[in-house]
């Protein structure tokens, strides 16, 4: 049967453990550094240097912070004991310290212990640059493009351009394509831009042939790709293109008949030849009996009916002349009418030409449907 | 009338039938106040007759076809000139060469019926017709027909010269009414010896009214 140890023995064992070499060394490094710091304060650089070498020995169990402090004090004590000549030794000590903590900076309280301490530390700093601060974590923002089109705009035919403003939230390549709304495979116009911030696609309302597109509905499709190959779109907008009605002039009405001069003039008397015809017929009637055989008509009385017919014919000639009308062609009026027709046609042609020009120059209206 | 349809009426029927394609159709009635003179065997006789007749014509373009006729009765004027019924019928085909002149062949027949018998003259020749406008619907007309071939049947006597001429005035209204008055002379000199010569002549006033239909 085992008996319990007496309390005095437990205390002795604990003291033995506390007095072991490992424990003495661990606590010694800190103490040595503190003694070295005190030695520096006392301008006993040689003692301080030796204490610090002991504290930083391979077997030392100094912590990283104690080792760092020890190396700094080592460099300072190297300068102090060589009266500044051992700057290489100081720099090496400082370099070792910075390798332990690259972000370490020499405080003025230590730099003021020797005038060359700061210079040696800067030289060491050049060998061990400051660490690059870690980049702040970037939040992953969805790729998006802000699109802006005029809802209803009127553009001039010449140099008129329909603008599509795009603003990606990060640099991107934006592609704009215009096709007829109902024929998406027929590309009329396309544009690709590398846009940072905001940019504008400007369609000149012309097809690839350079002609103005006819009135109708068109689709604008946009697609964007950023540097991370993230894709936005395609997004489609439908626009209606139409011509603003031109204020054309009405064609002049055909000339009424009353506008023309009569090309044939009716004269209020028959031709004088009518008198001759009447007289001729009368004479023929008067003389016709003489065509009979003279032998047969010898002794016969004058046929009064022939005289009557001759009289009737003569009177008819006079009546025909007085009551008749003549139609005479008027070359002067015909020329005037021809000139009137020519002027009318010229006016019609001028108005037609002017109207064509007005229609061709009529502005183009672009209306956003959706 | 002896049951025979007058030639004039026959022509009217023909003209009406052909009027379907004619451009103008002309129908008129006429009176010929004829004075007939005859010189035969040295003696001259004269008698007169009011002859009633008609005239019809169809025109297609420049071509015209006309038929006219008269009939009447000549009174007795001595032994050589007994009462005689006369019928004159003529057919003319004309071609209008100018607006005022038409030419064409003509055939004419004259039938004389007396108690002694019937004599028919058959004549073939040519006709020239003039028509000159005088204004106001008035026209002066002249017509000359020459018959180089003229024979009296059944005797076989020939005539030379044989011609007909007429001049006068016509009036036509826009509605198609037409009236005409003229003087006409028909001369027929029968061949033979001087002493046996026979000369006949019709002359006198001719007047008529009618209508001209145009399409």
**A75/A205 Cα distance (integer angstroms):** 78
Say if the Cβ atoms of A300 and B46 lie within 8 Å.
Answer: yes
Phi-psi region of A84 (alpha: psi -120 to 50; beta: other; left: phi over 0): left
A358 in reach of chain B (CB within 8 A)? no
A314 in reach of chain B (CB within 8 A)? no
Q: Cβ distance B110 to B102 under 8 Å?
A: no
Among chain A residues, the shortest Cα distance to B144 is held by: A288
pLDDT of residue B72: 95
ipTM of the prediction: 0.86
pLDDT of residue A133: 67
CA-to-CA separations, B95 to A159, A303, A353, B107, in angstroms, rounded = 77, 33, 56, 15
Query: Measured between CB atoms, which of A281, A295, A323 is closest to B135?
Result: A323
| List of residues 6+ apart from B148 with CB closer than 8 A | B124, B125, B160
* A288 neighbourhood in chain B, CB within 8 Å: 165-167, 183, 185, 203
A318 in reach of chain B (CB within 8 A)? no
B50 in reach of chain A (CB within 8 A)? no
Which helix (H) or strand (E) segment is B162 a member of? strand B157-172
pLDDT of residue A56: 87
* A311 neighbourhood in chain B, CB within 8 Å: none
Query: Measured between CB atoms, which of B134, B201, B203 is closest to A317?
Result: B134
Mean pLDDT of chain A: 85
Helix (H, G, I), strand (E, B), or coil: what is residue B160? strand
- Of A86, A91, A156, A99, give the one whose Cα is nearest residue A121: A91
Percent of chain B topping pLDDT 70: 87
Among chain A residues, the shortest Cα distance to B43 is held by: A296
**DSSP at A291:** G
In sign, the C-alpha dihedral spanning A104, A107, A111, A113 is negative
Say if the Cβ atoms of B136 and A323 lie within 8 Å.
Answer: yes
Distance of residue B204 Cα from the nearest chain A Cα, in angstroms: 6
For the cut 50, the answer to whether the pLDDT of residue A284 exceeds it is yes
Of A272, A285, A304, which to mutate for an interface test with B (greatest number of B Cβ within 10 Å)?
A: A285
For A203-258, the pLDDT digits (tens) are: 999 998 888 899 999 999 999 998 888 889 889 999 999 988 888 888 888 999 99
Phi, psi of B27 (to 5 degrees): -135, 135
- State both tokens at A70: 């020890």
Phi-psi region of B66 (alpha: psi -120 to 50; beta: other; left: phi over 0): beta
Say if the Cβ atoms of A292 and B141 lie within 8 Å.
Answer: no
Q: Which residue has the higher pLDDT, B188 or B11?
A: B188
In angstroms, the first-to-last Cα distance of chain B is 35
Half-sphere exposure of B31 (CA within 13 A, CB side): 9
Q: Cβ distance A291 to B203 under 8 Å?
A: no
For the cut 70, the answer to whether the pLDDT of residue A136 exceeds it is no
**Helix spans in chain B (H):** 7-18
Q: Cβ distance B34 to B7 under 8 Å?
A: no
For the cut 70, the answer to whether the pLDDT of residue B158 exceeds it is yes
- State both tokens at A267: 């004269």
Widest Cα–Cα separation across chain B: 56
Q: Where does residue A350 rank: exposed (0-12), middle (13-18), buried (19+ CB within 10 A)?
A: exposed
A288 in reach of chain B (CB within 8 A)? yes
**DSSP line for A34-62:** HHHHHHHHTT-HHHHHHHHHHHTSTT---
Say if the Cβ atoms of B35 and A309 lie within 8 Å.
Answer: no
Helix (H, G, I), strand (E, B), or coil: what is residue A315? helix
Q: Model-level pTM greater than 0.95?
A: no
């Amino acid at each position: 049967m085992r008996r319990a140890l007496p309390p005095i023995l437990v205390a002795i064992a604990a003291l033995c453990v506390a007095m072991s070499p490992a424990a003495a060394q661990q606590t010694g490094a800190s103490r040595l550094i503190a003694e070295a710091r005190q030695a520096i304060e006392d301008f006993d650089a040689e003692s301080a240097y030796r204490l610090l070498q002991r504290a930083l020995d391979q077997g030392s169990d100094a912590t990283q912070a104690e080792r760092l402090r020890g190396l700094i004090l080592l460099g300072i004590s190297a300068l102090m004991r060589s009266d500044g000549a051992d700057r290489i030794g100081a720099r090496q000590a400082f370099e070792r310290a910075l390798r332990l903590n690259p972000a370490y900076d020499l405080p003025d309280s230590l730099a003021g212990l020797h005038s060359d301490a700061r210079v040696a530390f800067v030289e060491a700093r050049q060998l061990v640059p400051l660490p690059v601060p870690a980049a702040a974590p970037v939040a992953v923002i969805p790729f998006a493009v802000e699109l802006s089109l005029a809802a209803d705009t009127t553009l001039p035919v010449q140099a008129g351009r329909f603008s599509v403003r795009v603003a990606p939230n990060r640099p991107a390549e934006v592609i704009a394509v215009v096709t007829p709304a109902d024929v998406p495979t027929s590309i009329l116009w396309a544009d690709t831009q590398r846009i940072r911030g905001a940019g504008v696609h400007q369609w000149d309302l012309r097809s690839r042939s350079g002609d103005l597109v006819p009135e109708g509905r068109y689709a604008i499709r946009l697609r964007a790709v950023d540097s991370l190959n993230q894709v936005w779109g395609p997004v489609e907008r439908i626009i209606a293109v139409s011509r603003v009605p031109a204020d054309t002039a009405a064609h002049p009405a055909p000339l009424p008949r009353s506008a023309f001069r009569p090309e044939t003039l009716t004269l209020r008397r028959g031709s004088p030849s009518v008198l001759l015809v009447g007289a001729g017929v009368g004479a023929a009637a008067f003389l016709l009996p003489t065509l009979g055989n003279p032998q047969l008509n010898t002794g016969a009385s004058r046929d009064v009916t022939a005289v009557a017919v001759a009289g009737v014919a003569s009177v008819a000639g006079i009546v025909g002349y007085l009551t008749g009308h003549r139609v005479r062609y008027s070359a002067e009026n015909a020329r005037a009418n021809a000139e009137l027709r020519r002027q009318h046609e010229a006016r019609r042609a001028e108005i037609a030409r002017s109207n064509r020009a007005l229609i061709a120059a009529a502005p183009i209206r672009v209306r956003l449907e959706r | 009338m002896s049951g025979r349809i007058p030639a004039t009426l026959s022509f009217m029927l023909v003209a009406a039938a052909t009027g379907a394609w004619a451009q103008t159709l002309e129908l008129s009635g006429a009176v010929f106040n004829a004075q007939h003179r005859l010189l035969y065997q040295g003696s001259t006789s004269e008698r007169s007759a009011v002859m009633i007749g008609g005239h019809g014509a169809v025109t297609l373009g420049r071509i015209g076809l006309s038929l006219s006729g008269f009939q009447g009765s000549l009174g007795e004027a001595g032994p050589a000139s007994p009462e005689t019924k006369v019928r004159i019928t003529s057919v003319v085909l004309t071609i209008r060469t100018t607006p005022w002149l038409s030419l064409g062949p003509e055939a004419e027949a004259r039938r004389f019926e007396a108690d002694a018998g019937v004599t028919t003259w058959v004549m073939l020749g040519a006709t020239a017709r003039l028509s000159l406008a005088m204004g106001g619907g008035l026209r002066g007309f002249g017509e000359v027909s020459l018959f180089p071939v003229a024979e009296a049947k059944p005797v076989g006597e020939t005539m030379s010269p044989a011609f007909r001429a007429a001049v006068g005035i016509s009036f036509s209204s826009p509605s198609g009414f037409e009236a005409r008055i003229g003087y006409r002379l028909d001369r027929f000199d029968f061949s033979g010896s001087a002493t046996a010569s026979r000369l006949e002549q019709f002359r006198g006033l001719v007047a008529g009214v009618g209508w001209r239909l145009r399409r």
